[in-house]
Chain A
């Protein structure tokens, strides 16, 4: 079924906007903003605010209506639907089915100095009320921290015979994260060890489809909790173990 934005009546199509145009404020600014939104296909445009935020820039807050709609059933993609388990069930699964500790190495690679993502997933304390991977008794989790060269990450993973490599990429200006993530995959493939690891990447600009396109096994975006990652890791490592 096709749906439209809901303002206060079904199908009214109301959306809110805020944007800045690089022009000095003048008496006609409101019309410039209005006509810009009309060019985008909106109608019944109302400029709620239009003012100079600098001599050269004008800020707009506006509302407009759209006739466009979308059918959610027609949206197809590669979504990672994790069968989320709880902390005890995950540890139980590893203990029963793998019969040894699951080893995971994580890092924010290359120039990325931001550990907030990898810490949220791995550190003892965890995030959003979930324990981090270091807390799991059935996991041997090592968080290498930030700015870890790809080569060092792979070397450590090999030394520890890791099951999972967890990569975080937070800083993404000018798409540098793509370059780093590709570099890691190329290195792992060049070493001929791609099959030895479940490779997972997470970050604010990451989704599963994108991660797979780059050659990773899974990608997690913003708002991911340690439980989701831990569930996926445990299930995937156990699945591979049972297949082999």
Chain B
């Protein structure tokens, strides 16, 4: 299947080399900077949680209190204070919040001791993540593994308990992955809310407690169905690495985690986002989490037929950053989408070309294919057919994570029955066409092969241009999604710090060293409880 289309291998190499150079350039910026959320994630990795009397997370209180110290890294002064007071991390954080303790520069003679202790604590923190990952492996082996493509659906009621009920219903109907959409604008909060929540707008707050509640619901229904149900959330926005930390501890299985999405679509400062995505991805890598990238969004602003190649370019860039953050190919769910105008003649032919191109460029990657949204009509019957063609394109081109379209996409967050109908649609198409792709070949030099090579060529040219001008400038000039961003503008720029010469954060090394490898594996899913067949 991976040589189904004859792609120009030289152009593939050119594109990948350019993306690699682009990422290397940015990686230098990443190494020279830290951010407030990077340091807060570090504190969370030490096990600190909770909020003060006005609901500000303790990690924010500590980071704000120690703002002057952040260029050197929070770990050395924080662990030194632990040593001086004989308290654990949580107690020190509480002491700082209460105003009883203060962080300060560590005198030279205490540095070595603080660093040694910090390195040991980092190893303990990482061991907690490893234990969660091992537990996932056990559960998948015990419960059973879903058959790919994974059926991915969204819940978004705002109430975590309602979400849990809907997620269980979706799993029973056949969903393999449940994503809990976040409440509108959470990506722009410079802190992570705390505790269970029952109100949100257009989604549900990502909190550690909500993660835990949903995880429990999915484990329950997974055991009932004999199929491990994966949980997805968003390590994105102003708190990328903090949410990655929470997800690693609460056994999320997937995270939306794009290297550029926040910059382009949420106007978060680019210098910050590149730094933030690095630690968030190191954590996801360690936790055995599959990341999903957000290229589908490009096609909601730019035209999918004209600018389809920007998705390919961005996939190469996301791949390059992901590999630098230690993610293994099976963890890199690069995104693309079915967004060409259905009114365009041969729409599906072009969609197949684009989807097959991405499939062949990234073998072994669990590609995430996103459904039609931009042109979904209010006519739900027509919309259901468009979704069917999306499902067809997905199975025919070997996509692995299928975010299902909803017939009511244009109208409202999915009703219980919408999700059911959508899963039925997908299951029918997947099973009825499962072996089709292996039975047919693409016409050499035909429309599909030509379109794929054309998009590849344009992507390579774009990547070479971006390498030439640098990614910061490219984002400034609107290379992606037709959106232009100011390198010094956007949200969160005030939280970016150039690191001091003696910057110290042992988590970076601890996260990289001695990690587990490979995807969880389990038996084929057990017989799910069939929905009772109705009569008249």
Residues of A near any B CB (own CB < 8 A): 18-20, 25, 27, 29-30, 47-59, 111-113, 115-116, 119, 123-125, 145, 147, 171, 173-174, 176, 204, 222-223
Contact = CB atoms under 8 A, between A and B. Distances in A.
A49 B482 contact: no
Contact of A171 (B184, B410, B416): B184
Nearest to A19: B417
Contacts of A29: 534
A227 B417 CA distance: 37
A115 B536 CA distance: 45
Contact of A53 (B378, B416, B535): B416
B197 interface: no
Contacts of B184: 111-113, 171, 173
A176 B202 CA distance: 10
Nearest to A18: B417
Given A111-B185, A125-B303, A147-B267, 10 more contacts: A19-B417, A30-B536, A48-B536, A53-B173, A59-B420, A115-B301, A123-B482, A145-B267, A147-B266, A223-B378
Contacts of B482: 123-125
A108 to B, nearest CB: 11
Contact of B172 (A30, A54, A112): A54
10 contacts: A20-B415, A29-B534, A49-B534, A51-B531, A55-B529, A59-B417, A111-B184, A115-B301, A171-B184, A204-B410
Given A29-B534, A111-B185, A176-B201, A53 B169 contact: yes
Interface string B509-536: 0000000000000000000010111111
A183 B47 CA distance: 41
Q: Which 5 A-B pairs have the closest CB atoms?
A: A51-B534, A54-B169, A53-B420, A50-B534, A52-B532
B413 interface: yes
Contacts, number: 86
Nearest to B307: A125
A173 B378 contact: no
Contacts of B427: none
B202 A173 contact: yes
Contacts of A54: 168-169, 172-173, 416, 420, 531
Nearest to B415: A20
B33 to A, nearest CB: 25
A222 B378 contact: yes
Interface of B: 158, 168-169, 172-173, 184-185, 187-188, 201-202, 266-267, 300-303, 374, 378, 410-411, 413, 415-417, 420, 482, 529, 531-536
Given A57-B416, A59-B417, A111 B300 contact: no
B279 to A, nearest CB: 24
Contact of B533 (A51, A111, A112, A174): A51
Contacts of A147: 185, 188, 266-267
A69 B457 CA distance: 60
A174 B158 CA distance: 10
A112 to B, nearest CB: 7
Contact of B201 (A52, A111, A116): A111
B417 A123 contact: no
Given A20-B415, A20-B416, A123-B301, A25 B532 contact: yes
Contacts of A204: 410-411
Contact of B158 (A25, A115, A123, A173): A173
A25 B534 contact: yes
A52 B533 CA distance: 7
Contacts of B413: 173
A220 to B, nearest CB: 15
Contacts of B532: 25, 51-52
B187, B201, B410: most-surrounded residue (chain A CB, <10 A) = B201
A29 B420 CA distance: 18
B201 A53 contact: no
Contacts of A145: 267
Contacts of B169: 53-54, 56-57
A48 B482 CA distance: 48
B531 A52 contact: yes
Contacts of B266: 113, 147
Given A18-B417, A176-B201, A119 B301 contact: yes
B299 to A, nearest CB: 12
Contacts of A20: 415-417
Contacts of B172: 54-55
Given A54-B173, A125-B303, A173-B413, A113 B185 contact: yes
B300 A116 contact: yes
Nearest to B301: A119
A176 B201 CA distance: 8
Contacts of B529: 55
Contacts of A47: 536
Contacts of A19: 417
A111 B188 CA distance: 10
A200 to B, nearest CB: 21
A54 B413 CA distance: 19
A57 to B, nearest CB: 6
Nearest to B188: A147
Contacts of A27: 535
Contacts of A30: 534-536
A19 B378 CA distance: 17
Contacts of A58: 534
B166 to A, nearest CB: 9
A125 B374 CA distance: 14
A171 B416 CA distance: 19
Given A19-B417, A113-B185, A171-B201, A52 B300 contact: no
